[in-house]
């Protein structure tokens, strides 16, 4: 749950974290007991009792103790006071748990519902490569890599100047100035076969204007969908007045376009296959053609 405000200027972070956990469990699962707090944070029974008491003082109308169930239960009119209820956070914790990136304790989830997710093929990032790229970014250095591009039959060595990391929805890459091609490009980690030396940057590197510039992509339901289907798509995406605005970096807009299936011309694709369309195509193309 997103932090809303500090519940006390002198409260230690560890205490506030435990109170946030208490509120999380009460909101999403409707119950909590002293042992939940004890086992997760490794604290004593008196300390867990003190935390529950402190939370009840902060939000006296949020919970009550049930002697028959021997736990605290959320009241029907429960309203978070430490955090904001965030469904995205809950579902992200569920997903991390399912992918093995979080344990039960780290997820904060007690009663885990039955769930599963569609998992795309894992694109591996070797930690040594990531560390070297981070060193280059933080040190503002150039680095030599042996890279397999899609346009060359064999990998070649080249010098790049990385300045950022990006995730395109499926894989991670570094955004960098390519000294060979004299332009900014995206270099996928898996295609970096070897990493050589790091060196001081020579000469002036231009600014990555496509990275710095943000654009707004406006999407809406496919025009040939039936009214009921259009309404369903509007609900799916949380559209207002039949459209949704997505702000993204110009350098990442190509990936977003592919991810949403917007890179096909609407008349050539069935509305069942391409359920949303790009409404401001000319504006986006104009922005791209500027560079």
Instruction: State how far the Cα of 159 lies from the Cα of 164, in Å rounded to an integer.
Output: 16
CA-based end-to-end distance of the chain? 40
Helix (H) or strand (E) holding 278, with range, is: strand 276-278
Q: Token pair for residue 286?
A: 């104009």
Instruction: State how far the Cα of 26 lies from the Cα of 32, in Å rounded to an integer.
Output: 6
- Residues 290, 212 contacting (CB under 8 angstroms): no
Q: Write down the pLDDT at residue 99.
A: 83
Helix (H) or strand (E) holding 80, with range, is: none
- Looking at every residue in the chain, the average pLDDT score rounds to 92
Walk me through the domains of the chain, giving residue ranges and CATH numbers: 2-85 (1.10.10.1470), 127-204 (2.30.30), 211-289 (no CATH)
pLDDT-derived band at 11, boundaries 50, 70, 90: low
Closest CA to 232 of 180, 272, 263: 272
Instruction: State how far the Cα of 102 lies from the Cα of 82, in Å rounded to an integer.
Output: 23
pLDDT at 162 over 50: yes
Quick one: DSSP state of residue 191? G
Q: How far is CA 115 from the centre of its chain?
A: 19
Say what the pTM is.
0.82
pLDDT per position as a tens digit, 32-44: 999 999 999 999 9
- Residues 31, 71 contacting (CB under 8 angstroms): yes
pLDDT at 268 over 80: no
Q: Collapsing DSSP states into helix, strand and coil, what is residue 74?
A: strand
Closest CA to 172 of 210, 212, 126, 135: 126
pLDDT per position as a tens digit, 107-138: 899 888 999 888 878 788 999 999 999 999 99
Instruction: Please give the backbone phi and psi of residue 19, each rounded to the nearest 5 degrees, phi first.
Output: -65, -35
Residue 283 CB contacts under 8 Å (≥ 6 apart), including other chains: 215
Q: Write down the pLDDT at residue 202.
A: 82
* Mean pLDDT (whole number) for 133-155: 95
């Amino acid at each position: 749950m997103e932090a809303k405000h500090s519940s006390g200027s002198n409260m230690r972070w560890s205490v506030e974290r435990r109170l946030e956990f208490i509120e999380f469990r009460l909101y999403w699962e409707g119950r909590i007991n002293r042992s939940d707090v004890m086992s997760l944070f490794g604290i004593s029974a008196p300390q867990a009792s003190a935390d529950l008491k402190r939370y009840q003082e902060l939000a006296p109308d949020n919970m009550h103790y049930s002697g028959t169930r021997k736990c605290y239960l959320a009241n029907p009119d429960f309203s978070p006071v430490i955090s904001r209820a965030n469904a995205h956070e809950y579902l992200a914790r569920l997903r991390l748990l399912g992918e093995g990136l979080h344990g039960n304790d780290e997820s904060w989830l007690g009663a885990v519902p039955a769930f599963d997710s569609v998992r795309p093929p894992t694109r591996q990032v070797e930690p040594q490569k990531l560390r070297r790229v981070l060193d280059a970014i933080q040190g503002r250095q150039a680095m030599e890599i042996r890279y397999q591009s899609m346009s060359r039959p064999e990998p070649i060595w080249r010098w790049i100047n990385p300045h950022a990391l990006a995730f395109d929805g499926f894989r991670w890459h570094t955004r960098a100035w390519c000294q060979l091609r004299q332009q900014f490009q995206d270099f996928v980690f898996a295609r970096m076969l070897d990493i050589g030396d790091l060196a001081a940057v020579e000469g002036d590197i231009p600014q990555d204007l496509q990275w710095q510039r943000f654009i707004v992509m406006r999407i809406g339901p496919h025009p040939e969908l039936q009214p009921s289907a259009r309404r369903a798509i509007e609900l799916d995406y949380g559209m207002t007045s039949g459209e949704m605005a997505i702000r993204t970096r110009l350098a990442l807009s190509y990936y977003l376009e592919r991810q949403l299936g917007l890179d096909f011309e609407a008349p050539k694709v069935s509305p069942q296959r391409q359920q949303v369309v790009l409404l401001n195509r000319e504006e986006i193309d104009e922005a791209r053609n500027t560079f």
